[in-house]
Amino acid sequence: MELIESPEVQRLRRIRQLGVGHMVFPGAEHSRFGHALGAMALMRQALVTLRAKGTDISDDEEAAALAAALLHDIGHGPFSHTLEHTLIAGFTHELMSRELIVLLRNQLGHPLDVALQIFDSAYPRPFFNSLVSSQLDMDRLDYLRRDTYYTGVAEGAVGTDRIIRNLRVFPALDDDGPEQLVVDEKGLHAVENFLAARRLMYWQVYLHKAVVAGDRLLRAAIQRARDIGVKMGSPVLLFFLENEITTDRLDERAVIDNYIRLDDSDILYSLKRWTTSADPILADLALRFVHRIFPRVTYLDDQPADGMRAELISRTSAALNIDQDSAGYYVAVDRVDHSAYESNSNSIRVVNTKGRVTELSEMAGVPSVGALNSFETRWYVAVPKEIEIEDLV
Amino acid sequence: MELIESPEVQRLRRIRQLGVGHMVFPGAEHSRFGHALGAMALMRQALVTLRAKGTDISDDEEAAALAAALLHDIGHGPFSHTLEHTLIAGFTHELMSRELIVLLRNQLGHPLDVALQIFDSAYPRPFFNSLVSSQLDMDRLDYLRRDTYYTGVAEGAVGTDRIIRNLRVFPALDDDGPEQLVVDEKGLHAVENFLAARRLMYWQVYLHKAVVAGDRLLRAAIQRARDIGVKMGSPVLLFFLENEITTDRLDERAVIDNYIRLDDSDILYSLKRWTTSADPILADLALRFVHRIFPRVTYLDDQPADGMRAELISRTSAALNIDQDSAGYYVAVDRVDHSAYESNSNSIRVVNTKGRVTELSEMAGVPSVGALNSFETRWYVAVPKEIEIEDLV
Amino acid sequence: MELIESPEVQRLRRIRQLGVGHMVFPGAEHSRFGHALGAMALMRQALVTLRAKGTDISDDEEAAALAAALLHDIGHGPFSHTLEHTLIAGFTHELMSRELIVLLRNQLGHPLDVALQIFDSAYPRPFFNSLVSSQLDMDRLDYLRRDTYYTGVAEGAVGTDRIIRNLRVFPALDDDGPEQLVVDEKGLHAVENFLAARRLMYWQVYLHKAVVAGDRLLRAAIQRARDIGVKMGSPVLLFFLENEITTDRLDERAVIDNYIRLDDSDILYSLKRWTTSADPILADLALRFVHRIFPRVTYLDDQPADGMRAELISRTSAALNIDQDSAGYYVAVDRVDHSAYESNSNSIRVVNTKGRVTELSEMAGVPSVGALNSFETRWYVAVPKEIEIEDLV
Amino acid sequence: MELIESPEVQRLRRIRQLGVGHMVFPGAEHSRFGHALGAMALMRQALVTLRAKGTDISDDEEAAALAAALLHDIGHGPFSHTLEHTLIAGFTHELMSRELIVLLRNQLGHPLDVALQIFDSAYPRPFFNSLVSSQLDMDRLDYLRRDTYYTGVAEGAVGTDRIIRNLRVFPALDDDGPEQLVVDEKGLHAVENFLAARRLMYWQVYLHKAVVAGDRLLRAAIQRARDIGVKMGSPVLLFFLENEITTDRLDERAVIDNYIRLDDSDILYSLKRWTTSADPILADLALRFVHRIFPRVTYLDDQPADGMRAELISRTSAALNIDQDSAGYYVAVDRVDHSAYESNSNSIRVVNTKGRVTELSEMAGVPSVGALNSFETRWYVAVPKEIEIEDLV
C-alpha cells in the first residue's frame, strides 16, 4: 500500500509510542509506526472474521477500513501524548489526524474518502466506525499487546486473537436496523480480561509515577523555553513556541508543514542545545531531562490542601536558590485519571447464542466489569528529588 | 533431594494435572509431577526473596518448606479432582496428602516433621504456612502459570515473578507479634491481576462446559461399575469399588498400599476393558468416555425447576431406550461454584511504604477485588447429545 | 472433520509423543493427538500459501492432503518408537498407519482414496507427497516446534511460519515436468536452521542418554515378560506377547482389533502389575521402570571391543547376584545414529528468483548443510547404576 | 550503581542498537542502553555460576566485571556501526569506549581501574577478559537474544541460560597455569547452536540487503554534507564534519565533549534540515533517507568485473540527470563479510568430565562448527531503484 510509504506515515518511525515511557521501561522504545501497522493487521484479521460469519464487505470498504486503522493516530506529535497540550493550545491528536487524512485524501483520492468517513464515525454502516474507534477498537487491542511485549509487564497480556475471533456484526445485513459490532458470548471472559488488563497497564505503565515525572519535566522545559522566547533549537519546534497556534489554525499550510516535520529528534536535539542556554532555569530543566534526573512524584490519598502548591514552591525556591516564579516550573500539583470502561451509548455489546444483545456491564458472570465502570482519579505532587515533603503527604 | 526419587512422588507422573481437561484442551496433558516440582521451585524463589529482605530462615526451615511445597498435592488420586468424591466417600486429596507425608516422614525422618507442621498450618512462624496454603500460595501461583502455558489460554497470564519479588514477612523478627506474609504495595496490581486471572481460568478452563461434561461421564461410569459389582479391570481400582472406604480408614495399610498404586492408567485400562462389559449401560458409558462422546452441558440462568431432573431422565430413557434407573447415569442437574477471593482471617494483606498493613479488599485502587469477593454459582444440566432440551432451558 | 472424532484418532490421546522422553523432560508429556492436529494445521497453512502463489489445488485434493497429514502417524503404538520393534517383529509404524488408513477408507470412503495415494507417495502430483513425507514435511515441522515447546530446549526453535511462507510448487501447472515442492531462496537460511535444529534435538532430546536408558529398560521388561510367558497384565498387550505377530499379518482382523485398543495405559498398567510377579527378574525390571531407576548409558568414543558385552554381563551377574542369562536383560551394547540431511533423490530443492532449481547442499552460502550431510553414529553401553565400568570406557 | 545514572551511559538511550536496522525490521527500535544493561545482567549470572563451581571472585572483581560489561560499548556513536568510519577516519567504537572508561575512571575512581584492565584484556586472570571480549562473551550472548526478540527472527534463538550455566573456569585456582574460561561438554550443543544462530542473524538481519542499502544511503548523505561544507544542522555533528578528526585525537577535550553530545537525534535532525539544502544532491540524498527511499542492493555471485562501478555511475548519471561526480554518491560496489567462528588463540574451549580441554572445532559431534570456521564474503552493488541493472548481475 502506497500509504505506508508516504512521508506522513514514515514520520511515525521517529515518534516513540510511549513518549517518555521508554526512559522508565528500557525495552519500550518502540515507535508509533509499528503500532499503525499493527492496528492495520488486526483490522485485516477482524474483516476476515466478519466476512467468514457472513457479513458482506466490499473491496472498497476493506481498503478504507485498513487505511483508517493505519492512519487513526497519524496526527500524533513528538513524545506522543506528553506534548499534546503544550505545543498547541487545546490540541488533541485526533484533530491533526483528521487534517492529515484530508491532506492524503486530496493527494491520493478515492478510498480515503470512505476512510475519512469511518474516522469521523460517520460511515452509514456503524460497525466499521466501531472497529476504528470504540471501547474495543483495533487501536486499543494493538497497543495493549504491543506495550505489554515491549515493557515486559505481564499484567497487560490480552487474548487478542480470541477477542477478534468472537467479533460479529449484528443484525445480519438483511435485517433492519443499523449493523452494530458485537461480541459473541464465547468471548465474554476475553473481553472482561481485556478491560482489566488495560486498566492495569494504565496504573503500572502509562501513569507510572516515573512516567508522570518525566512528562512534567519535559513539559516544564518546553514551557520555559516558550516563556523566555528561546532562539536556539530546531526551527520546526521554534515555530510552535513562537507562534501561539490554536486549534482553529490546524488547516493552515504553514502549521501543517511544520507539524509533519516535527518529531522526537527535534525535541531531543533542542533539549540538548538548551543545556547550554544562558537562561539558568532552562539550562537546568533541559539538563535534568537529558540526564534523566526526574522529579519525584508522590500519589496522595486525598485531594491536596489549598496551600500545597505554594508551600512546595516555597521549599523548592529555597532549596534550589531560585525565585518563586522559576520554582514554579519545578513543581506540579495535579491529578491523573482513567476510566476502564464506560457503559454508555458507545459501550461494548454481547450477543448470546439465542441472538439477544446485552450491554457488557449488564451481563451476568462478569462482576469485575461493574467495578471498572467508574472514573478513577489520583492526585499527585511532583517536586525535585532534593526537596523533602514527607511531612506534607 | 531423595524425596523426588520416591515412588510416591514419581507416581504423580502418571496423574494428569487437569483430569479430563486434556480431552478438551489438547495441549494440556501435563502431569502433577511437573506441578509439584514447579511449586517447589517457586518456594525456593520466595525464600531467596524473603532472606534478601532480612528475614531469618534456617537451613532446616528451608528444607522443610521446599518439601512441603513438593508434597502438598501428593495425595491426589487418578484424574485429580474428578474422582475425589467417587472412590472414597467424603474424601479430599488433602487428607491423603497428610497420610503420605506421615508415611514418608516415618521412612525418612527429621525435616519432614517440620514440613508436616507447615502442611498442617501449625508451624509457629505462620508465614511458612501461608507460603504453602493460603490465597496466595506457591501452589496457586504455579498451577496458574502452568495451566496457562499448556492450555494456551491467554487470560491466565500472571506476573508470578513480580508477585514473589514483592512478598515480605511482617513484622521483622525482632518485633513482637506473629510473622505474617504480606505483599509490598508495589505488587498490588500484580496480585489484583492474579486474582482476576485465576477466576477467569476457572470459568474458561477448570469449569469449561466440556470439562464438566467429561467429569460427569467419567464419574457415572465409575459409579455404574461399582453399582453392578464389576469384576473386570485393574485390581487396585476394584479394591476401592468393592470396599466402601471411608475417610476414617485412610491410615490402613491396605488402603494406602492400593492408593499409591492407583493412577490414570488404571482408570483408562479399566474403562477400555469395560467397553466389552456384559452390562450394556457400563459398556456404553465406558465407550462414550474412551471415544470422547461427552454429554452436552448447558448452563442455566437460574436454579432449575423442581421437576427438571425427572423430565430429563424421562426423555433420556425414551431416546436411548433404557429404563429410568439406567437413564439416571446419563443425566445430571447440579451446580459449580467458585470464589475468586475471600476476605477473611486468611486473606491477603498488603503493606505500604510506611509499614501499614491493610487487607487487600480494603485497599484503594483495586476496585475489582471487591467485585471478586463473593461466591459465584452456576447451575447446569448434562444430558447425552442425542436429547433435545431447548424448550427447557 | 469426522476423522478427528474417530476412535482410531482419539486413541492417539493416550500415546505420549516422546515415549519415555516425558520421564526425562518433565514438561514433555504431550500426546500424538496434538501432533496429528498440528501437522494438519501446518498442511492447511501450506496449501493456503501454495494457492496464493498460483498453484491450482482442488477441494478434494485439499481434503485428502489434510487427511493424510492428520493420519500420517496413526499407526504408532504405545510409547511411540520405543516398542516399535518389540511387539511385532520387523514392524514400523508406517506399515500400521497404512492398514488403519485403509480401514478408515473402507468405512468412510472417497477422499481417503487420494489421501492413501499421497501417504504412499504415489499421487501423480508429487508435491502433495512431499508435503506429507520428505525431508521438509509437515510432520517434521510440527514435531520440532511442538517438542521444543514442551521440553523447553531452546536449540530446537525453528521459523516454521517462514519456511511454509517460502514453499512453492515448481514448475507451474502449465509447464511440463512433474510439479515438485521447492523452497524460495528467501527461505534458505530458515531451512538451514531447521536442519541444524533438528539435528540438535536428536542429540539433546530424542537420543538423550537418559531417554535411551529408559527405552532399553522398558524393552527389556517387555522382552522378559514375553520370554517367561507372563499371564498377568492387559489382555491386549498379552495378545502381542503370546502370539509372534509378523508384519505380514497386520491386515488380520484380530491383529488390528487388538492394536487399536493398545496404548500407553496398557503398558503402564501391566508394568505395575508385574512388579508383583513371581519371576524376580521381571518384577525387578518392572519396578525399576515404574520407580524410574534407569540404567546408566555411557557413550563411547569408538566401536566397543569384542568382549565388552560379555564383560558387562559378567559384572552385572555378580553385582545383582543373578545368573548370566538374566543379567543379559540389564545390559546393552548398541548404537544410535542420525542423519541430519541426505542429499539424494528426495532432497530439498531451492529455487532462486530467476527460476533455477538447486539441490540444497549445492547452494552457496549454506556451509553447514554440507557438514550435516552425513550419517552420525554413536556407540553406547547401558548397565545398571550399581555397576562400575569406568575402567572400560 | 551510579554508573548507570551517568550521562555517558544515559546517552546510549538515544542510540539505536541496530542503526538503520529499525527501518527494515519495524519492531527493532531498541537502543544500546538496554543492551548495556543486558550484558551486565548476563555477567552477573555468569559470576554466580562460576562462584557456585568453586571459582574465587572478590567483591571488587565482581564490581569491575559488571562495570566492564556495562561499559564495553559505551563508545558507540550515532546509528551504531553505520557511521563508525564516516565521522572519524580509522575509527572503531572500541577506541572511544576506552577513552570514555578512562574519563569515568578519572571521575569515579577505583573499581574502574580493574574494569579498564579487563576491557583491555590485560587483567591477570584471563577468564574475566574472556567474559567481556571473546567469541563467547556476554556482549554477543546479549545482543543475539535481544535482537532476536525485537526483530522476531526465529533463527537467532539461543539457549543463553544453558550456555552460561555451563561456563567454568579451568583449571581451578590452586592449579598452576592461567585460569581460562571453558564450557562444560554438556553445553556443547548449545554453543554450536549459538554460533550457527549468530551467523544466520548476520545474513538475515545485520547484513540484510535493505539494511546495507540504508547504511550506504546514510553514509553517502553524510559524506556529501562534509564535501560541500554544509553549515546547517546540529553543531555537534558539524564539528565532526568540519574537522578531520583522526583517531590520535580521541583524547582531546573538544573531541570527547562533542562526541558524548552526539546521538541519533543529531543525525535525524540534520538530515531533515538538509532536505531543504540549496545543494540538490544533498537535499535529494537526505530526502531519500528521511522518506525511506533506499537504493536497491543486489548480491553478486562473484567479484564484480572491473568496469562495473563506472558503468553504474554512468547509468545513474543519465537516469537522474546529474553529473558523474554526483552520481558517485548514489552508487556502491563493495562487499560484506562475516566470520562465524575462528579457531585461533582466542577460540572457544570445551572441557569434558575427565578434565580434558579441547578447542571447539576439534571436538567430535559438532560437524557444523568446522563448516563455520571460515570467512564468508559477498560482493554487492547498490544503485537507486530507478536504475535497471539486470543485464549486469
Neighbouring residues of B204: CB distance < 8 A, sequence distance ≥ 6: A189, B153, B155, B156
Within a domain: residue B104?
Answer: yes
CA nearest neighbour of C220 among C78, C383, C89, C96: C383
Buried b or exposed e, range A330-352, using 16+ CB within 10 angstroms: bbbbeebebebbebeeebbbbbe
Percent of all residues in chain B with a pLDDT value above 90, rounded to a whole number: 77
Q: Kindly tell me if the per-residue pLDDT of D323 is higher than 90.
A: yes
Supply the pLDDT for residue B174. 54
Physical contact, B and D (3 or more Cβ pairs within 8 A): no
Q: Say if D81 is an interface residue toward chain C (CB within 8 Å).
A: no
Please tell me the predicted confidence (pLDDT) of residue D1.
72
Mean pLDDT of chain D: 92
C-alpha cell at B30: 501435563
Q: Are D376 and C367 in contact (CB under 8 A)?
A: yes
The set of residues, in sequence order, having a beta carbon less than 8 Å from that of D318 and lying 6+ positions away, is none
| Record: contact D34-A14, CB cut-off 8 A | no
**Distance (Å, whole) CA A208 – CA B70:** 37
In a domain, D131, yes or no: yes
Interface test with A, best of B368, B372, B380, B391 (most A CBs within 10 A): B368
A and C adjacent (3 or more CB pairs under 8 angstroms): no
Please write the tens of the pLDDT for every residue from B256-271. Answer: 999 999 999 999 999 9
Range in D140-149, D317-326, D338-347 the model is least confident about: D338-347
Nearest Cα neighbor of B167 from B8, B343, B351 is B351
Give me D366's grid cell: 559438532
Give the nearest partner residue to D372 out of C203, C364, C368, using CB atoms.
C368
Pairing of strands D349-351, D180-184: parallel
Q: Tell me, what's the pLDDT at B172?
A: 59
How high is the mean pLDDT in each 10-residue block of chain C (393 residues)? 90 96 95 97 97 94 96 93 84 91 88 93 95 95 96 89 95 70 94 92 94 97 97 96 91 93 97 97 98 95 92 97 97 92 84 89 82 85 94 84
The pLDDT confidence band at residue A176, using thresholds 50, 70 and 90, is low
Q: Evaluate whether residue C291 is within a structural domain.
A: no
Q: Does the pLDDT value for residue D53 go beyond 80?
A: yes
Q: Which residue has the cell 540504508?
A: D214
Secondary structure class of D292 (helix, strand, coil): coil
B156 phi/psi in degrees, rounded to 5: -90, 0
Residue A243 lies in a domain: no
Q: CB neighbours (10 Å) of residue A112?
A: 23
Around Cβ C236, how many Cβ atoms within 10 Å? Answer: 20
Residue C195 belongs to a domain with what CATH number? Answer: 1.10.3210.10
Grid cell listed for D131: 567474559
Residue A294 is given by DSSP the state P
- Residues C216, C277: contact at Cβ < 8 Å? no
Highest mean pLDDT among A299-303, B166-170, B301-305, D153-157: B166-170
Which residue matches cell numbers 526451615?
A: B61
Residue B349 lies in a domain: no
CB A131 within 8 A of CB A69: yes
Residues 242..281 of A with a Cβ closer than 8 Å to D: which? 261, 263-266, 268-269, 272-273
pLDDT of res. A174: 54
Domain assignment present for A240 = no
Report pLDDT for D172. 59
Strands C332-339 and C349-351: unpaired
Q: Domain residues for C52? A: 7-208
> What are the beta bridge partners of residue C359?
C349
Q: Which residue in A139, D240, B79 sits closest to A130, CA to CA?
A: A139
**pLDDT value of residue B139:** 96
CA A335 → CA A291, A305, A385, distances in Å?
A: 26, 13, 19
Q: What is the distance between the alpha carbons of residues A284 and A286, in angstroms, rounded to a whole number?
A: 5
Q: Which long-range contacts (CB under 8 A, 24 or more apart) does A240-247 make?
A: A240/A87, A240/A88, A241/A87, A244/A89, A245/A87, A245/A88, A245/A89, A246/A88, A246/A89, A246/A90, A247/A88, A247/A89, A247/A90, A247/A91, A247/A95
The verdict on residue B86 lying in a domain is: yes
pLDDT reading at D259 higher than 60: yes
**Among residues D277, D247, D303, D276, which one has the least CA distance to residue D89?**
D247
Q: What percent of chain A has pLDDT over 90?
A: 77
D66 touches chain C (CB under 8 A): no
Q: Which ipTM value was assigned to this complex? A: 0.93
In angstroms, the CA A116 to CA C351 distance is 44
Distance CA(D95)–CA(D76), nearest Å, equals: 10
Q: Name which of C18, C264, C265, C277 to mutate to probe chain B: the one with the most chain B Cβ atoms within 10 A of its Cβ.
A: C265
Cβ proximity of C201 and C147 under 8 Å = yes
Alpha carbon B152 to chain centroid distance?
A: 19
Cell 530446537 found at: C156
Q: Write down the pLDDT at residue A172.
A: 59
Q: How confident is the model at residue A85 (pLDDT cuts 50, 70, 90)?
A: confident
Rounded Cα distance, A134 and A127, in Å: 10
Q: Do C27 and B5 touch (CB under 8 A)?
A: no
- How far A131 CA lies from chain B's nearest CA (Å)? 22
Position D350 in a domain: no
Between positions 5 and 34 of C, the ones with CB within 8 A of B are: 5, 7, 10, 13-14, 16, 22-23, 26-27, 29-31, 33-34
HSE of A217, CA atoms in CB hemisphere, 13 A = 29
Give chain C's domain count: 1
Residue type, D300: L
Evaluate whether D54 touches D24 at the Cβ level (below 8 Å).
Answer: no
Q: Is the pLDDT of residue A319 over 90?
A: yes
Confidence grade of residue B340 (pLDDT, cut at 50, 70, 90): confident
pLDDT tens per residue across span A104-123: 999 887 679 999 999 999 99
Give the tens place of pLDDT for each residue, A204-227. Answer: 999 999 999 999 999 999 999 999
What is the b/e burial string over C46-60, where b = at least 16 CB atoms within 10 angstroms of the residue's CB? bbebbeeeebebeee
**Residue B368 sits at the chain A interface (C-beta within 8 Å):** yes
CA distance B198 to chain A (A): 11
Using alpha carbons, select from C39, C20, C64, C391 the residue that is nearest to residue C213.
C20
Residues 6+ apart with CB under 8 A from D301: C364
If residue D332 lies in a helix (H) or strand (E), which one and from where to where? strand D332-339
Q: Give the per-residue pLDDT at B361.
A: 87
Chain C residue with CA closest to B31: the answer is C29
Q: What is the pLDDT of residue C277?
A: 97
Q: Do A269 and D272 touch (CB under 8 A)?
A: no
Cβ pair D295, D383 in contact under 8 A: yes
Which band of pLDDT confidence, cut at 50, 70 and 90, is reported for residue B180?
Answer: very high
Residue D68 has pLDDT above 80, yes or no: yes
Nearest partner of D256 among D63, D64, D106, judged by Cα: D106
Cell 485439499 found at: C62
Q: Grid coordinates in use for A103?
A: 491532506
D152 lies within 8 A of chain A by CB? no
pLDDT reading at B338 higher than 60: yes
D371 and C CB contact within 8 Å: yes
DSSP B359: E
